[in-house]
């Protein structure tokens, strides 16, 4: 596999990722443009094909046409393949093909894999890639088996199995695209424990990150977890259970969401409403009918997202946790950020801060532009949509289907940035960075 335009120039790993995802999206859009991709046998407008391909590859879930009713099974299968490729990353599939045909994985390909998986070193990357593929297909298979106990009795054997596989892959890859139809997502199954808990578990599994699961499976051998795994598990636990508690408090007396439900339904919906913004996009209650506090909490959870090296988007749990602990360390008068009695290097802190600032800037700019293009839409709906697109979540208050052509293009760009990573895109666009050996005189400025 040669990544070069000219003999004297080779793409950097981050550039390969940026171009690779774009190429997969374009290929998917062209396939969805074919008349056989729609249920009515007509050619779909290219902007909607591009939007659907982007939301699938970027595992977002925002859709301009109803997935369950608009697309034929050919179109649905294209979407399913795009979700799987987008969730795992195209380099994982390139590695799988190379392993099947017996091709040696080159150093250049290993560098791209390292960038795609957010791995610390090149050591053991091929072994990790094999583990990722085996783990993914195993978990998705188990999820499909559990979902089939509900979908087969409801839809019949063939359709039930297909729905089970589709929703299992969509949930594990944190895509949030469903086939239920009429933009209802999982609202019909709000009190179904099997559906809600299975989909919720798949979302969490996919959002933890493959390196964390690799450590968990090898815990009996090594008897220890890395600082990264500890931080990811801690922040994930706080967000899931803390978010569920707040959702219960915010929505408990809301007659349009969980108030009419049984206690079991209230618990399931509260937990699911806390899990799905991280960054799956399924919903068991109407997002538009949630209280302002519930919608604002959802925006926060969408912005944070899942964990590094996972199928999720957002600034990531590790980034959020690192920033919080940096603030705590500053308040305590510590010179360095300390987490679990370990010191974090300043370059890592700077990277986390850079990612957060770029991400906030992107959401703000996109919201400002949408406020101009989407006349009549409220600012809350626009910020919600922009954050959902950046976090590759897929939740919406109903604005997606009403977007103008320019608005769709903006959301496409935002979803792409959210999946690839704003910092990755910035590094890909910038030239080859060289370390600055010049040390300027130190001075002070007033802050705060």
Give residue-wise pLDDT tens across range 294-336. 999 999 999 999 888 787 889 999 999 999 999 999 999 888 8
Residue 4 confidence (pLDDT) above 60: no
- CA distances to 259, 293, 385, 391, 440 from 289, rounded to whole Å, are 12, 11, 15, 21, 55
Band of residue 111 on the pLDDT scale cut at 50, 70, 90:
low
Is residue 176 one of the residues assigned to a domain? yes
Q: What DSSP designation does 102 have?
A: T
Range of the domain at 106: 4-428
Mean pLDDT confidence for 402-421: 92
pLDDT reported for residue 380: 96
Residue 237: how many other CB atoms lie within 10 Å: 11
How far is Cα of residue 25 from the mean position of the Cα atoms in its chain? 16
What spatial distance separates the first Cα and last Cα of the chain, rounded to whole Å?
A: 51
Residue 218 confidence (pLDDT): 82
Residue 228: CB atoms within 10 A of its CB come to: 19
Mind listing the pLDDT tens digit for each residue in 271-280?
A: 999 999 987 8
38 DSSP β-pair partners: 71
* 446, part of any domain: no
DSSP H/E element including 363: helix 346-373
Is residue 68 included in any domain, yes or no? Answer: yes
Pairwise CA distance, residues 15 & 95, whole Å: 18
pLDDT, average across residues 21-34: 93
Identify the bridge partners of residue 344 per DSSP, sorted by sequence position. Answer: 337
- Who wins on pLDDT, 6 or 163? 163
In-domain check, residue 308: yes
Residue 374 lies in a domain: yes
Q: In this predicted structure, which of 83-87, 177-181, 441-445 has the lowest mean pLDDT?
A: 441-445
Q: What is the tens place of the pLDDT at every residue in 215-234?
A: 888 887 777 899 999 999 99
Give the residue among 145, 146, 139, 33 at the shortest CA–CA distance from 88: 139
Per-residue pLDDT, 431: 53
Distance separating alpha carbons of residues 338 and 340, to the nearest angstrom = 7
- What local confidence, expressed as pLDDT, does residue 322 receive? 95
**Contacting residues for 414 by C-beta, under 8 A, at least 6 apart:** 362, 366, 386, 389, 390
Q: Give dist(CA 30, CA 25) in Å, integer.
A: 9
Confidence of residue 19 (pLDDT cuts 50, 70, 90): confident
Which pLDDT does position 439 carry in this prediction?
A: 77
Closest CA to 54 of 15, 92, 26: 26
Q: Which two tokens stand for residue 232?
A: 């990811």
Q: What is the pLDDT of residue 7?
A: 43
Asked, for residue 448, whether it belongs to a domain, the answer is no
> In this structure, is residue 438 part of a structural domain?
no
Least reliable range by pLDDT among 249-258, 358-367, 429-438? 429-438
Instruction: Give backbone dihedrals phi and psi of 359, rounded to 5 degrees, phi first.
Output: -65, -45
- The pLDDT value recorded for residue 1 is 43
Q: pLDDT-based confidence at 3, cuts 50/70/90?
A: very low
Residue 400 in any domain: the answer is yes
**pTM of this structure:** 0.88
From CA 253, how far away is CA 290, in angstroms rounded? 11
Please give the average per-residue pLDDT across 44-48, as a whole number.
95
C-alpha to C-alpha distance for 39 and 68, rounded to whole angstroms: 10
In this structure, of 165-169, 172-176, 210-214, 245-249, the range with the lowest mean pLDDT score is 210-214
Tokens 């815990």 correspond to what residue? 219
CA 10-12-15 angle, 5° bins = 110
Give residue 2's pLDDT: 45
Task: Decide if 204 contacts 279 (C-beta within 8 A).
Answer: no
Structure letter (DSSP) for residue 269: H
Number of domains into which the chain is organized: 1
Q: Which two tokens stand for residue 100?
A: 């099947």
């Amino acid at each position: 596999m040669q990544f070069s335009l000219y003999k004297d120039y080779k793409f950097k790993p981050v550039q390969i990722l940026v171009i690779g995802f774009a190429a997969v999206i374009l290929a998917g859009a062209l396939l969805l443009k074919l008349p056989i991709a729609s249920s009515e046998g007509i050619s779909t407008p290219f902007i909607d094909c591009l939007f659907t391909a982007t939301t699938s590859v970027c595992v977002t879930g925002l859709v301009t046409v109803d997935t369950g009713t608009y697309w034929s099974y050919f179109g649905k299968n294209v979407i399913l393949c795009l979700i799987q490729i987008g969730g795992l990353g195209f380099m994982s599939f390139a590695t799988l093909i190379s392993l099947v045909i017996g091709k040696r994985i080159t150093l250049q390909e290993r560098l791209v894999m390292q960038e795609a998986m957010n791995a610390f070193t090149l050591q053991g990357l091929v072994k990790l890639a094999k583990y990722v593929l085996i783990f993914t297909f195993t978990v998705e298979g188990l999820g499909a088996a559990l979902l089939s106990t509900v979908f087969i009795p409801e839809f019949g054997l063939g359709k039930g199995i297909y729905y089970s596989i589709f929703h299992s892959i969509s949930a594990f890859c944190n895509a949030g695209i469903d086939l239920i139809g009429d933009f209802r997502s999982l609202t019909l199954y709000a009190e179904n424990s099997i559906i809600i808990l299975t989909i919720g578990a798949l979302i969490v599994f996919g959002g933890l990150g493959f390196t964390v699961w690799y450590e968990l499976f090898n815990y009996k051998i090594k008897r220890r977890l890395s600082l990264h795994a500890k931080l990811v598990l801690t922040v994930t636990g706080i967000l899931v259970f803390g978010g569920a508690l707040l959702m219960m408090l915010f929505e408990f007396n809301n007659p349009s969401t969980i108030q009419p439900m049984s206690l079991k339904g209230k618990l399931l919906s509260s937990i699911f409403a806390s899990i799905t913004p991280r960054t799956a996009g399924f919903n068991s209650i109407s997002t538009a009918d949630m209280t302002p506090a519930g919608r604002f909490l959802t925006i926060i959870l969408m912005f944070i997202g899942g964990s590094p090296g996972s199928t999720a988007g957002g600034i990531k749990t590790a980034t959020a946790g690192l920033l919080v602990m940096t603030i705590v360390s500053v308040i305590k008068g510590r010179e360095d950020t300390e987490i679990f009695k370990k010191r974090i290097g300043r370059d890592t802190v700077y990277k986390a801060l850079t990612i957060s600032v770029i991400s906030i800037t992107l959401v703000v700019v996109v919201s400002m532009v949408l406020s101009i293009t989407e006349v009549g839409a409220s600012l809350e709906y626009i910020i919600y949509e922009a954050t959902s697109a950046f976090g590759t979540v897929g939740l919406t208050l109903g604005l997606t289907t009403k977007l103008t052509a320019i608005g769709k293009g903006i959301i496409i760009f935002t979803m792409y940035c959210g999946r690839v990573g704003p910092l990755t895109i910035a590094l890909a666009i910038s030239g080859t960075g060289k370390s600055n050996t010049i040390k300027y005189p130190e001075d002070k400025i007033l802050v705060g």
